Amino acid sequence: MTMKKGKLFVISGPSAVGKGTLCKRLLSDGGSKGAKIELSVSMTTRKPRFGEKDGKSYYFVTEDEFRAEIGKGGLLEYAEVFGCLYGTPKEPVLAALERGSNVLLEIDVQGALQVRENHPDSLLVFILPPSLAELRRRIRHRGSETAEQVAGRLSKAVSEISAIVKYDYAVVNNHLGRAVAELREVIEGRHARLKAAEAAEIAKRFAGDGTASGR
Ligand code: 5GP
């Protein structure tokens, strides 16, 4: 008997929207019914933030090490984000799918679109903040960015949200418990797909939200 392969879920959303917390909470709450869920650990040239652990939060590598990995064809996707390189190690993801696990990739929009290209059956989930003002508050609260970096992350957020039209599902991270439940519905195939008109409306609403300027 051949084992049923797992599904690949790509989770994107602006920096500090809470993707990481959501995914970790989903796993610590016991995942979902049916297949096991595994979270992919990305590789990055970014320096670790306070409390981040190598091999757990990310594999922290030098640019030479990262480029060597690209050369070996070892990455499923990669992109430059905020001046650093980020990528998904291919082998652990393929192995997890092969053993029937559902795999979550918590990656940016550029990477998500590469995954969609190479794995057309992957499902793309966009995590939205309740508003840009709330997103700015969350970025500032993290305290690791300068004012200039906060402004950069906010303006990138608006351009990332415009890519929501290419995504299959949207989850608003307003209330953590509710957002985790919705993400679980997505993974279990019980959540409504994002309609094209809805996605266009969301992109328009955030593009017109003047709080992005940082004022
Ligand atoms: P942070 O530096 O805040 O941890 O992450 C910055 C951005 O990089 C986030 O949008 C995050 O989703 C994205 N990111 C993290 N890992 C990967 C990856 O492996 N590939 C891509 N394309 N983006 C990633």
Q: Residue 215 — very low, low, confident or very high, per pLDDT cuts 50/70/90? A: very low
Mean pLDDT of 130-147: 87
The helix (H) or strand (E) run that includes residue 77 is strand 75-81
Complete domains list, the chain, with CATH: 8-40+101-212 (3.40.50.300)
Give residue 168 CA to ligand 1 midpoint distance, Å. 19
Nearest CA to ligand 1 atom 1: 15
Q: Give the rounded percent of residues in the chain with a pLDDT score beyond 70.
A: 94
* Closest-CA residue to 127 (of 213, 40, 191): 191
Q: Is the pLDDT of residue 125 over 70?
A: yes
Q: Could you tell me if 191 and 182 are in contact, meaning their C-beta atoms sit under 8 angstroms apart?
A: yes
Mean pLDDT of 68-82: 96
* Closest-CA residue to 169 (of 198, 206, 201): 198
Least confident of 40-49, 66-75, 111-120, 203-212: 203-212
Mean pLDDT of 143-151: 84
Nearest CA to ligand 1 atom 18: 87
- In ligand 1, the atom with minimum distance to the C-alpha of 13 is 10
Give residue 36 CA to ligand 1 midpoint distance, Å. 23
Q: What is the pLDDT of residue 61?
A: 98
DSSP one-letter string for 97-129 = HHTT-EEEEE--HHHHHHHHHH-TT-EEEEEEP
Question: Identity (one letter) of the amino acid at 45?
Answer: T
More confident residue, 70 or 28: 70
Pocket test for ligand 1, best of 70, 76, 107 (most atoms within 8 A of CB): 107
Q: What is the pLDDT of residue 146?
A: 86
Q: Is the pLDDT of residue 200 over 80?
A: yes
Give residue 2 CA to ligand 1 midpoint distance, Å. 34
Q: Is the pLDDT of residue 113 over 50?
A: yes
